[in-house]
Amino acid sequence: MKLTQKLLSVLLLSQCALAFAKGNADTIFYGGDIVTMNQAQPKAEAVAIQDGKIIGVGSFTNLKKLQGEGTKLINLNGQTLMPGMVEPHVHIMGTAFSEEIFLNLSNFTMPHDTLDSLVAKLTAYSKNIKDGDWINAFGVDPSRTEPFMSELTADILDKVSTTKPIFILNQSMHIAYVNHKALEVAGLTDSSPDPKGGKFLKDSKGHLTGVVYEAPAFYLFLNKMPLPTQEVIEQAIVKVGQRLVSKGVTTSAEITVGGYLGVDKEYALFNAMTRNGKLPVRVRGYMYSSAYPSTNNSYKPGQGDDSFKLIGVKIVADGSNQGLTGAMTKPYDFPAGTKNTGTLNFTEQELYDLAKPRFDEGWQISVHSNGDKSIEQTLNVFERLVTKPSDVKTRLRIEHFTVPTEAQISRAAKLGVVPGFTIGHTDYWGEAFHDHLLGAERANRIDPSASLIKKGMHFAYHSDSPVSPIHPLKYASEGAARLWQVSPQKVLNANQKVSINNALKAVTIDAAYQLKMDDKVGSIEKGKYADFAIVDKNPMKTDAYKIRDIEVNETWINGRQVFKKN
Residue 368 Cβ, how far from Zn ion at the closest point, in Å?
6
435 C-beta neighbours (distance < 10 Å), count: 17
Contact stretch for Zn ion (CB under 5 A) within 51-59, 128-136, 345-353, 464-472:
464-472
- Considering beta carbons, is residue 464 or 554 the nearer one to Zn ion? 464
Chain centroid to Cα 410, Å, comes to 25
Q: Which residues contact 160 (CB under 8 A, 6 or more apart)?
A: 119, 122, 123, 126, 135, 166, 179
Per-residue x/- track, 415-454, Zn ion (CB under 5 A): ----------------------------------------
Distance between CA atoms of 368 and 358, rounded to whole angstroms?
A: 16
User: Of 145-153, 154-162, 338-346, 458-466, which segment contacts Zn ion by CB under 5 A?
Assistant: 458-466
Residue nearest to Zn ion (CB): 464
Nearer to Zn ion, 310 or 483 (CB): 310
- To the nearest whole angstrom, how small is the minimum distance from the Cβ of residue 83 to Zn ion? 24
Q: Which of 447/464 has CB closer to Zn ion? A: 464
Task: Report the nearest approach of Zn ion to the CB of residue 467 (Å).
Answer: 6
Nearer to Zn ion, 87 or 464 (CB): 464
Contact 355, 292 (CB under 8 A): no
Q: Is 393 exposed, middle or buried (0-12, 13-18, 19+ CB in 10 A)?
A: exposed
C-beta separation of 409 from 451 below 8 A: yes
Answer left, alpha or beta for residue 409, where phi above 0 means left and psi between -120 and 50 means alpha.
Answer: alpha
Cα-only R_g, the chain? 24
Cα dist from 53 to 269, 364, 497, whole Å: 27, 27, 34
Helix (H, G, I), strand (E, B) or coil at 186: coil
Question: Closer CB to Zn ion, residue 29 or residue 363?
Answer: 363
Of 489-508, binders to Zn ion (CB under 5 A) are none
Q: Using CB under 5 A, which of the segments 3-11, 46-54, 103-111, 462-470 binds Zn ion?
A: 462-470
The window from 145-153, 190-198, 231-239, 463-471 that contacts Zn ion (CB under 5 A) reads: 463-471
d(CA 357, CA 380): 16
- Determine the straight-line distance between the first and last CA of the chain, rounded to whole angstroms: 31
Contact 436, 148 (CB under 8 A): yes
Q: HSE (CB half, 13 Å, CA atoms) of 389? A: 0
Stretch that binds Zn ion, among 2-10, 96-104, 201-209, 461-469 (CB under 5 A): 461-469
Minimum distance, C-beta of residue 130 to Zn ion, in the bound complex (Å): 33
Residue 422 CB, nearest distance to Zn ion (Å)? 8
- Taking the C-alpha atoms of residue 89 and residue 229, their distance in angstroms, rounded to an integer, is 26
Of 100 and 464, CB closest to Zn ion? 464
> 49 vs 423, which CB is nearer to Zn ion?
423
The answer to whether 254 and 236 have CB atoms below 8 angstroms apart is no
Reported residue count of the chain is 566
Q: Least CB distance from residue 359 to Zn ion, whole Å?
A: 20
Instruction: Provide the pairing of β-strand 43-50 with 53-58.
Output: antiparallel
Contacts of 230 (CB under 8 A, 6+ apart): none
Four-residue CA torsion sign, 298, 303, 309, 313: positive
Closer of 266 and 464 to Zn ion (Cβ): 464
Q: How far is CA 562 from the centre of its chain?
A: 20
Q: Is 464 in the site for Zn ion (CB under 5 A)?
A: yes
Query: Across the chain, how many H-helices and E-strands are there?
Result: 20, 24
**Positions in 191-220 near Zn ion (CB under 5 A):** none
Residue number with CB closer to Zn ion (258 or 539): 258
Minimum CB–partner distance for residue 351 and Zn ion (Å): 17
Smallest distance from the beta carbon of 205 to Zn ion, in angstroms? Answer: 34
* Element housing 209 (H / E): strand 208-213
Minimum Å distance from CB 182 to Zn ion?
Answer: 24
Closest C-alpha among 75, 79, 147 to residue 117: 147
> Quick check: 134 and 164 in contact, CB under 8 A?
yes
Site for Zn ion in 12-71 (CB under 5 A): none
Per rule CB under 5 A, count of chain residues that contact Zn ion? 1
Q: How far is the CB of 73 from Zn ion (least distance, A)?
A: 42
Min. distance of Cβ 88 from Zn ion in angstroms? Answer: 11
Task: Compute the least distance from the CB of residue 91 to Zn ion, in Å.
Answer: 6
Part of the chain binding Zn ion (CB under 5 A), chosen from 61-69, 182-190, 384-392, 456-464: 456-464
Beta strands, E only, 84-165: 85-90, 103-104, 113-114, 135-140, 145-146
| Interacting residues with Zn ion between 133 and 162 (CB under 5 A) | none
* Cβ closest to Zn ion, residue 256 vs residue 542: 256
Instruction: Count the Cβ atoms, other than its own, within 10 Å of residue 559.
Output: 17
> CB-wise, 464 or 478, nearer to Zn ion?
464
For Zn ion, give the closer residue by CB, 33 or 464: 464
Kindly give the pairing relationship between strand 249-257 and strand 364-369: unpaired
Nearer to Zn ion, 79 or 252 (CB): 252
Comparison of 82 and 90: residue with beta carbon closer to Zn ion? 90
Choose the binding region for Zn ion from 299-307, 374-382, 390-398, 459-467 (rule: CB under 5 A).
459-467
Q: How far is the CB of 400 from Zn ion (least distance, A)?
A: 8
> Could you give phi then psi for residue 345, rounded to 5 degrees?
-80, -20
- Residue 99 Cβ vs Zn ion, minimum distance, rounded to whole Å: 14
Task: Give the interface with Zn ion as residue ranges (CB under 5 A).
Answer: 464
